Amino acid sequence: MRPFVYESASSAQQAATRGGTDSAFIAGGTTIIDLMKLEVMKPSRLVDLNPLQMRGIELGEDGLRIGALEKMSAVAVHPEVVANYPVISEALLKSASAQIRNMASIGGNLLQRTRCGYFRDVTTPCNKREPGSGCPAIDGENRMHAILGTSSSCVATHPSDLAVALVALDASMRLQNGADERLIKLDDFYLLPGDTPDHENQLRPGELITEVRVPRLPWARRSTYLKIRDRESYEFALTSAAVALDIDGDKIRDIRIAVGGVGTKPWNLPRVREALAGKPLKQETFAAAAKLAVDGANPLRHNGFKVDLVQRTIIRALMNLGDLA
């Protein structure tokens, strides 16, 4: 690990003044310490956010508010989250391991790097790590990589399960930069790699995520996160689906849906949503709509199976939620 200056933040405003291209914020540390050991990230200043008051999990009139420093494990088992947004609880419990969930913050989870094995391996080129150096994944090992939102510069998958659930639920983040505050939709926050895969989101230097807001959606009580992986636990998604379903008799009144493991960002599916609203609750409807999820998919040599697998993941999640399984 390269030497760095360590300091504790005393306020969000003060933290903003310490932020910059050469600085990094640390909360749980589960991503950044790993990447610093690998010398993938080499900040010369590490600003510890843990003294800040960005906590609390509350359900109000407007919906759910989660402080950015809350731990994944705390949010996963919070009674209001479990009861009202099971998709969030399930996405968190299917993430990482119990130890990592105890350490990692919600803000940090949403900011974990979009990454692949080549990004972590400093002996290989990587456009995300060293812009312009090339992408060995495109013609190399790419079984785990994305099929949607890819570019000729980067095909790495966004790894957060939580982000998939939050994008499906149309969540926003409150960002603070010194005295300035802004609210941004999570779906807009993440950027496609394009020619600049080193820019993964719209966060500005010094800016902090202070909280996550999930709109009130009473029928999200019927929601789930289905994650398909190579091993049962402690593994990234091959494919995943976050779905909330509003049922009116034998019809779908409304739906929220996003998929993970397939996109360079959490992949929202507004067209699948439109295709299913008002339609009969049955497998044939689900299968027809799921086809829209892979429109424009660009599979690589080893990950072509994801085109089919993600459709099956969507169908099964809907079957489970509709009590048809």
Residues of the shown chain interacting with other proteins in the complex, contacts defined by CB under 8 A? 1-8, 10, 26, 29-30, 33-34, 37-38, 45-46, 48, 50, 73, 96-100, 102-103, 232-234
Q: Nearer to other proteins by C-beta: 38 or 247?
A: 38
Q: How far apart are CA 46 and CA 263, in angstroms?
A: 30
Minimal distance, residue 94 CB to other proteins, in Å: 9
Residue with structure tokens 């960005």? 54
Q: Which is nearer to other proteins, 96 or 317 (CB)?
A: 96
Cα separation, 131 vs 151, in Å, equals 14
Burial class (CB in 10 A: 0-12, 13-18, 19+), 248: exposed
Partners of residue 257 on adjacent β-strands: 243
- Which of 12/272 has CB closer to other proteins? 12
In the complex, what is the shortest distance from the CB of residue 179 to other proteins, in angstroms, rounded to a whole number? Answer: 22
Of the pair 34, 254, the CB lying nearest other proteins is at: 34
> Measured at the alpha carbon of residue 69, what is the angle toward residues 179 and 223, in degrees to the nearest 5?
115
The least CB distance from residue 75 to other proteins, in Å, is 14
Strands, E, within 106-250: which ranges?
Answer: 172-177, 180-185, 208-215, 223-228, 239-248
> What is the nearest approach in angstroms of other proteins to the Cβ of residue 111?
16
Closest to other proteins by CB, 35 vs 88, is 35
CA distance 283 to 274: 16
| Min dist. Cβ of residue 48 to other proteins (A) | 6
